[in-house]
Amino acid sequence: MRRNRRRKSSGDSRGGGDLIGISSDRIPMAALVQTLAVAEYLSFHRAARALGTSQSSVSARVKALEEDLGVLLFQRNTRGVRLTEAGCSFVAQVSGALESLDRAVKTAGRWRVASMARYASVSTVLSLADFSSDCLIAFAVFMPR
């Protein structure tokens, strides 16, 4: 959870870092994903099942996130949860941000594929050039004037 990540490294003179060099004011991605799942399923149990994790893990992460933000995102009761007004706004913004991240990852993947194709094309041309020069040498050797 986030509370455990707030330890300062001994060499950090600014006072805002932690042991692994991540700013202590960042929210863990897992907390955001789990919050979106709870908002989608309106149930900690169903969200945890969909994510393949425990209900206690989801509940603890969402609670820590709410504490970090200083606002309740969900109204909890025995029948499930409901988004608060702040929760609705937060979920909409986080959902949009994660969609942007997803697009960025897909774009990077397309660049990787394009660069691999470009490398393959250059590699093929160079291989053919080597093959052609070998053929010309062989032809010259076996077919003298």
Q: What is the pLDDT of residues 22-68, one digit of tens each?
A: 445 788 899 999 999 999 999 999 999 999 999 999 999 999 999 99
pLDDT at residue 143, rounded to an integer: 58
Kindly report the pTM of this predicted structure.
0.60
pLDDT score at 30: 92
pLDDT tens digits, one per residue of 64-103: 999 999 999 999 988 889 999 999 999 999 999 999 888 8
CB 37 within 8 A of CB 51: yes
Domains in the chain and their CATH numbers? 2-107 (1.10.10.10)
Backbone dihedral region of 83: left (phi > 0), alpha (psi from -120 to 50 degrees) or beta?
Answer: beta
